[in-house]
Structure 1
């Protein structure tokens, strides 16, 4: 028995080492950015570099939060992301439910078409979409940007919701129908509470995807008043004055914090939601 336990422990060592190495690769740049955000600009570019600042300062964070355009950029990021996810759920929940529960001619072809639309690179649609919006005078429209962002996450939302609904036993709905419940009542009062973790997972993925989107806002809403935190961050790289690395790292930390806090808040639902659709019956 001790030999078997020893072999099992020895077999876990490569996995542990691999996880440790991956953790360093992933967390290393984040920790470096975090440390740099507390440095002065002189210390941020000193050679050889220092791992942690000798005299940590909050000056960079103060500059970020006192920037007149920061709150506007933050509001735009929140509005676009939350709005896109709401639209995607309003479309994806009924569509996913229909795909899971109804049988109709051409259903498989339709679902594959929906899936195929998510495989089209967004860059390939930039030029025709730009000319269309410019022609009808809808450039720099926050509503249009939100709709475009939602269109990019709707296909995956439909497929995820369909899988989550399929994991709910059909007998539960049959019993509700016998009791006189309508289809809307079944979806609202029965299905939605049961697939709540799945909805949380889909919403989390959607917000992270839209929050990190740069090209859509940069192309279709070039006005400064319509830009997001991501666009503002990239614009600093092209600033004629030069790059302040300590300030930029503080900006990165602040811009990333809303998504990090949100993920920490819904982590339990997110994990259970990702695994819920994998088990049927």
Structure 2
């Protein structure tokens, strides 16, 4: 029986809408933070990287673990098709010698240098924030002049109130956007009382990368910037609204996503995380 043009048009529209509704939400490369394997490297660096490759992970945020030079580690990464677009460095090291961090980043072909912790006493204060802002602006200019972008990775303790917002707002608003960008750790953002998706939309040009992690249900938020590693769970099984966060990240153009699972169960949890994010649709 010959179908009328109207029926064919409706069928096409239905199929198109169905296909569009089921398009994948997460389409970027899957990355992982090297710190995830901090207790595994001693069992064999090449062996760990082989397991990373098997998972389909093609990006790693470094730098190299202990016991191997940056050059040797880069060679192992290259042999497995794993890129290192970003490296994490200590606040004290980059303050002391930002040029050394530039050299390290270029060894890996990284275009981002990330700092994940601002030294402070029990409570993170405005004085801590002001000092960090001055340091980041200084270091960020040096890095930019050498083709590298400095990113600060929030850790939850920056969500103490200040002015009309938080201390994190102060840091973002007072660092020079030409020199300083940010990497959001979505779990620490949530744990500190922030809303990851809203913050991504609030500062759409400042966020460049994401750490993907989730926190066990029932764990209360606080400003310590710390919780038991046993509270790290596979994405989609904890408290965070992962689809909402990934939708916001996609909307503002985040390109690099690194799974960071600090749990002793990371080997069993990371495949669940990858399956979950790859199964999300929009």
State the TM bucket, normalised to the shorter chain: under 0.3
Return the structure number with greater strand share.
Answer: 2
Q: Bigger radius of gyration, 1 or 2?
A: 1
TM-score by length of 1: 0.25
Higher relative contact order (CA 8 A, sep 6+): 1
